[in-house]
Amino acid sequence: MLEKKTIEYEKAVLIGIINREQNEEKVTEYLDELEFLTYTAGGEVIKRFVQKVDVPNPKTLIGSGKMEEVERFVEENEIGSVIFDDELSPAQQRNIEKQLRCKIIDRTSLILDIFAQRAQTSYARTQVELAQYEYLLPRLTGLWTHLERQKGGIGMRGPGETEIETDRRIVRDRITLLKKKLEKIDRQMETQRGNRGSLVRVALVGYTNVGKSTLMNVISKSEVFAENKLFATLDTTVRKVVLGNLPFLLSDTVGFIRKLPTQLVESFKSTLDEVREADLLLHIVDISHPQFEEHIHSVNEILTDIKSSEKKTIMVFNKIDQYTNEVIAEDDLMTEKTSRHFTIEEWKRTWMEKVGDRALFISALNKENLDEFRKRVYQEVRDIHVTRFPYNNFLYPENLDEYQ
């Protein structure tokens, strides 16, 4: 682990905007997630500022009055970072930094920073470093560079303990070098994947922190790192799993998030190839999260981006042990029933209508309903296997009753 043992939390404020696309409720949800990201990156959120912005200020995104308010707060409370949920143009970032005289971070750079902290293998490090430099390049200018050099912490970490370089020419050279290095690793990974033979390949996909690694550990008896922070997993783990004497490959990979930086999606090409080349996707969802439907949507968008949305998919709703629904009192005739009031049973029916038996409800932590999970996965994998190798039944010794 690169994470330091004693973390000194850096003071941060969050800024979100309300506009036609995101109402106040949405912004609150986005900022909740941004706060979790900030915490994962080693920051403590002291205050949130939210402004209704119909026409974004080209100079500073938010209005000048709000900027002054933030400026005063930053000064009085020794704030280290101001974190915007929305993307800032390089010029906006510079202007805001000039006025607030502290680090200005947007969602993209915050996610990049977490990835930098968490990258463990040299492969993951290379991918993250490339993504960071590509984000940085259009943002480098004299003054800003000078300021940045004096500040460590959130937004300034490179993979490993070194700080990222901020000289334009060096950055360009580094990008070229990293790309070459990645191409070489990509070729090696391709060969490795090719060598895995003809086993059916299954990939766990899903939003970050939904329990992919936990499920991987339960199913494959492996020990993939899992914890209640975002992006615990960056490297892909592939395990051979045997269900009812049918072996297949199961991979656990990086979690997705709303607005996953495009630089990351691109530089994680090989990591995501595991998903692209899978025969079956297990889309894991944290049903106990209030925004789980939006999470499903974000994941589907990324799957479309990497041309994997048409793949055979089983929806796996995890953390049913932690699910609670809002309840309408019997004498309450005013409150309208929404999906927030659904019981697990109602969710089951809803998803059944959408995807038939390709929806499962489990708890990986409490090992609830795992038999059904194993059975469904077994059936799907067997179907794929049989279609692919119609004349080959060597994988099927007699006693398969358990999963038929």
Residue with tokens 């979690």: 255
Kind and range of the H or E element at 204?
strand 201-206
Q: Interacting stretch for Mg ion, rule CB under 5 A, among 180-188, 209-217, 236-244, 287-295?
A: 209-217
Q: Distances in Å between the alpha carbon of 270 and those of 100, 182, 232, 255, 391? A: 39, 9, 18, 14, 32
Q: Interacting stretch for ligand GTP, rule CB under 6 A, among 135-143, 315-323, 341-349, 386-394?
A: 315-323
Residue with tokens 């990008």: 175
Extract the annotated binding site for GTP: 206-213, 231-235, 252-255, 318-321, 363-365
Residue 230 partner contact from Mg ion, ligand GTP, none using kind-dependent CB cut-offs of 5 to 8 Å: ligand GTP
Kind and range of the H or E element at 316?
strand 312-318
Residue 188 Ramachandran class (φ > 0 left, ψ -120 to 50 alpha, else beta): alpha
Strand, helix or coil for residue 67: helix
CA angle (259 as vertex; 184, 165 as ends), nearest 5: 50
Q: Interacting stretch for ligand GTP, rule CB under 6 A, among 23-31, 52-60, 318-326, 390-398?
A: 318-326
Asked if 43 touches ligand GTP (CB under 6 A), the answer is no
CB of 226 to Mg ion, least distance (A): 6
The footprint of ligand GTP on this chain (CB under 6 A) covers a number of residues equal to 23
Structure tokens of 228? Answer: 């209640």
Asked if 233 touches Mg ion (CB under 5 A), the answer is yes
Site string for ligand GTP, 181-200 (x = CB under 6 A): --------------------
CB of 203 to ligand GTP, least distance (A): 13
CB of 197 to ligand GTP, least distance (A): 26
Extract the annotated binding site: 206-213, 231-235, 252-255, 318-321, 363-365
Q: How far apart (Å, rounded) are the C-alpha atoms in residues 286 and 300?
A: 15
The gap from C-alpha 309 to its chain's centroid, in whole angstroms, comes to: 17
For ligand GTP, the closer CB: 288 or 379: 288
Among 214, 251, 267, 308, the residue binding ligand GTP under the rule CB under 6 A is 214
Residue 162 partner contact from Mg ion, ligand GTP, none using kind-dependent CB cut-offs of 5 to 8 Å: none
Q: Interacting stretch for ligand GTP, rule CB under 6 A, among 25-33, 159-167, 201-209, 346-354?
A: 201-209
Asked if 359 touches ligand GTP (CB under 6 A), the answer is no
Helix, strand, coil % in the chain, rounded to nearest 5:
45, 20, 35
Q: With 0-12 CB in 10 A as exposed, 13-18 as middle and 19+ as buried, what is 155?
A: buried
For ligand GTP, the closer CB: 118 or 157: 118
Q: With 0-12 CB in 10 A as exposed, 13-18 as middle and 19+ as buried, what is 272?
A: buried
Residue with tokens 């009753």: 401
Which residues ranging from 221 to 250 are in contact with ligand GTP (CB under 6 A)?
Answer: 226-228, 230-233
Residues lying near ligand GTP in the complex (CB under 6 A): 206, 208-214, 226-228, 230-233, 255, 318-319, 321-322, 363-365
